[in-house]
Structure 1
Amino acid sequence: MREDNVRKIWSEAELDAALADLHDDVGEDDGLAFARASLLAAAGVEEAPPAEPRRAGAWRWLAAAAAVVTLVGGLGVVAARWTPGPPETSRPAALADLDRPLAPGEFRYAQKLAWVPQIMYGQAVWVQEKVELWIPADPTGLWHRRTMWTGVVQGLGPDRTKDVQVNLTPKDEFGPGGAFIGDPPAGGTAKPHWKTPLQKWLKPDAAFIASLTPDRDKLIKRLRFDTVDSGDSGDDGRMRTATESLTMVRSVLELGGLVPKDVRFALSDAFSDVIGGFALPGLTPDGRPATVLGTKDSGQRLYLDPATAQLLAWDAAQPAPMITRSNEVPLTTTSQASPSSTTTTRQAKPPLPENLGEPAAVYSFAITQTSG
């Protein structure tokens, strides 16, 4: 939904009230409390720590001691004690600049800070993970992805927290054209019983992004019916749930400026026609305009910058009921009896801590001159 079509900007309270009436089975979430900060880029001076969020309990880790907030590409990047310096940028990048063509040797940079459910000492906890991605000027070239734990854990009592030795060693992966080892088969792969061929919505690469067009009607159909997982039965013509469609949109928008601006807007508009989904103009809790994409079945929301349709944050609203370990980054460095579970088997017990009070992920984007 574009700014020139917006007649009313909804406050967070108004948006929550309207959505509660529209989807009375979705509880009110904790909302987002985006940090207010500015980067004196020319002087290389960091701003003072951000003011306390106006909502109690929201984004508590932004106000943690020793946290430093900078701006890269116009989006908030949180850097706590464990975080290395921000990527070197060719120049301070505004949101609009992120869509400019890249010069040889430049990279599109994307960072995702996400909370991942894990088991530590037999207890379910949230552990913060950072995923960085460098995409070269020619996106068919070699992509670099770095995954690491930040060392931040929520859900352990004080007696256990002091014993935690989280492994901060990054895992670096390289994928030609964005196709990494372990990704699904190439887009277009088909099975006799599938209604549609497999498309890489969940692990998008350069070829998949190039296949997207800003045709709203085509995108609506694809969000509803595309086969996105090699395990899909694909033979019943089942329409995707709103949350599945939102996950497809989120996975694509996580690539930032690689996705053309008109395609980002078309995806946002198309999602508004997904059954059980909505797209409304609103405000982030700190008062900035945002386009809010949300679902009825899970209460998830995406917050997009209304001027560029760049992804700002993902609010999962409801904690995942299962715990899944999907990557191979060891959680701890200790040789003691392992306090963590790195199995890919889903585990239903023990329950996750309630009231995380924070979004599932926040995002930042930039144009850099280094691949990490």
Structure 2
Amino acid sequence: MREDNVRKIWSDAELDAALSDLHDDVDEDDGLAFARASLMAAAGTSEAPPAAPRRGTWRWIAVAAAVVTLVGGLGIVVSLRPPAPEPVRPAATLADLDRPLEPGEFHYAQKLQWLPESLEGHPADIQQKVELWIPADPTGIWHRRTKWTGAVTGLSSDEQKKVQVSQTPFDEYGRGGWFPGPPNMGGTMKPTWNTPFQNWLTPDAAFIASLTPDRAKLAKRLNFDTISFHDSGKVHTATEALGMVRSVLETGLVRKDVRFGLRDAFAEIAGAFVVPGHTSDGRPATVLGAKDSGQHVFLDPATAQLLAWDARTVFAPTPTRSSEVVMSNSRNPPVSSSVSGPPSTTTTRPESPVPPPSALDPETLYSFAITRTSG
């Protein structure tokens, strides 16, 4: 967490007292709006309280989604609207994130990715942020927020002046991690499939709970589990297996022993490799790679938490979303008036470590934390 992103440090007692005082003057629902505005003012971000009360069922969203992030038990007020979209490092040490959650706390995961789009008739990449909150009881309601950050690359300065990127967030809620949209097909079976359908690419609480740390069992699942209606019973490619691993790790909900199990199991996949390396910003990483596509996933060596994903493949701009992108497989706010819809998106080991990717390569970055409600 950079110093310019931290405005003021609050103790738990100070935060509770501030919220309590605010609630004395307004009703319960409207109090959240005033608490948010007051905390943002204390954090040095100008934001006036709303003139009229706004009702809502999800009391915890305003605070869990925007106000308090735990770092070793210390509450930090962070800005809802950073001065410029930029990659954010984890708000807490990754080792702290495996502790059991207390009531009112949430697993938090953030993904920053660049998606191809055609803007004003020109190919460009637009940065998207996807945030996920999972309650202490993962069978409860999950909250996912998707938005454009406003950052655009690939356009000239004149072309960028013509583009208006909407930064309005799109929020979704799903019990146990299953969000509105296509029906949950987990467990269904077809004659050509090796196994009943498994939700590797749309992981929910039930599916993540089904994963064990057994390396051999995980390797078998990465090879043969049905993950698509187009599966024909063939062994998965290394890229498909890498996508399966990445999708479940994106949630931030997978236990530490299972994360290491997935890392080791991936090394057993034909065309896959696991070697030491570094992320583009120089952090040590365990690199999971797929030879058939050149894709790489970077894990923290000590915790096997997801750090980054480097596609290294060239995607043509298209308004169709890729079904392989899991945390962002939701409707997105419009980018500009010129855009009609959301953008798509035998084990061998190299003898030497993988070098850091070039700064020009498209890279998806991940951050994880623990958040809590106001009480």
Task: Summarize the alignment of residues 290-309 of structure 1 with structure 2, pairs less than 5 Å apart.
Answer: 290-309=285-304
Question: Is structure 2 residue 365 aligned with structure 1 residue 362?
Answer: yes
CA separation in 1, counterparts of 2:242 and 2:100? 28
Secondary structure of the residue aligned to 1:267 is helix
CA separation in 2, counterparts of 1:241 and 1:232? 14
| Contact map agreement 1:120 1:341 (CA 8 A) in 2 | no
CA separation in 2, counterparts of 1:205 and 1:359? 27
Query: Deviations for 1:13-35, whole angstroms, at most 9, x for unmatched residues?
Result: xxxxxxxxxxxxxxxxxxxxxxx
Aligned length, in residue pairs? 288
Deviation at 1:174, TM superposition (A): 0.1
| Contact map agreement 1:331 1:342 (CA 8 A) in 2 | yes
Q: Specify every segment of 5 or more residues in structure 2 that has no aligned partner in the other structure, as ranges.
A: 11-68, 73-77, 322-329, 346-357
Relative to 1, partners in 2 of residues 1:288 and 1:167: Cα closer, same or farther, differing over 3 Å?
A: closer
Question: Is structure 2 residue 230 aligned with structure 1 residue 232?
Answer: yes
Select the residue among 80, 83, 104 that pairs with 1:81: 83
CA RMSD of superposed structures (Å) = 3.2
Matching residue of 2:315: 320
User: How does the TM-score come out when normalised to structure 1?
Assistant: 0.70
Matching residue of 1:243: 239
CA separation in 2, counterparts of 1:246 and 1:221? 14
Matching residue of 2:56: none
Relative to 1, partners in 2 of residues 1:345 and 1:248: Cα closer, same or farther, differing over 3 Å?
A: closer
CA separation in 1, counterparts of 2:268 and 2:292? 15
| Contact map agreement 1:109 1:367 (CA 8 A) in 2 | yes
CA separation in 1, counterparts of 2:196 and 2:258? 21
Amino acid at match of 1:192: P
Amino acid at match of 2:278: L
CA separation in 1, counterparts of 2:96 and 2:231? 42
Question: Is structure 2 residue 329 aligned with structure 1 residue 330?
Answer: no
Answer 1 or 2: which has greater helix percent.
2
Amino acid at match of 1:278: F
Secondary structure of the residue aligned to 1:149 is strand
User: How does the TM-score come out when normalised to structure 2?
Assistant: 0.69
Relative to 1, partners in 2 of residues 1:38 and 1:122: Cα closer, same or farther, differing over 3 Å?
A: same
Secondary structure of the residue aligned to 2:158 is helix
Question: Is structure 2 residue 254 aligned with structure 1 residue 259?
Answer: yes
Query: Deviations for 1:76-112, whole angstroms, at most 9, x for unmatched residues?
Result: x99852559x9xx9xx732111001101110000000
Amino acid at match of 2:365: V
Relative to 1, partners in 2 of residues 1:285 and 1:340: Cα closer, same or farther, differing over 3 Å?
A: closer
| Contact map agreement 2:178 2:184 (CA 8 A) in 1 | no
Structure 1 vs Structure 2: percent identity of aligned residues? Answer: 57
Secondary structure of the residue aligned to 1:251 is helix
Secondary structure of the residue aligned to 2:168 is coil
CA separation in 1, counterparts of 2:124 and 2:340? 11
Relative to 1, partners in 2 of residues 1:286 and 1:115: Cα closer, same or farther, differing over 3 Å?
A: closer
Higher RCO (C-alpha under 8 Å, 6+ residues apart): 1
Which one has the largest radius of gyration?
2
Query: Deviations for 1:288-343, whole angstroms, at most 9, x for unmatched residues?
Result: 3210001111111111000000000001112224635334223235xxxx322417
CA separation in 2, counterparts of 1:296 and 1:173? 35
Secondary structure of the residue aligned to 2:365 is strand
| Contact map agreement 2:279 2:308 (CA 8 A) in 1 | no
Question: Is structure 2 residue 202 aligned with structure 1 residue 203?
Answer: yes
Amino acid at match of 1:204: P
Amino acid at match of 1:339: S
CA separation in 1, counterparts of 2:84 and 2:155? 19
| Contact map agreement 1:281 1:290 (CA 8 A) in 2 | yes
CA separation in 1, counterparts of 2:318 and 2:84? 25
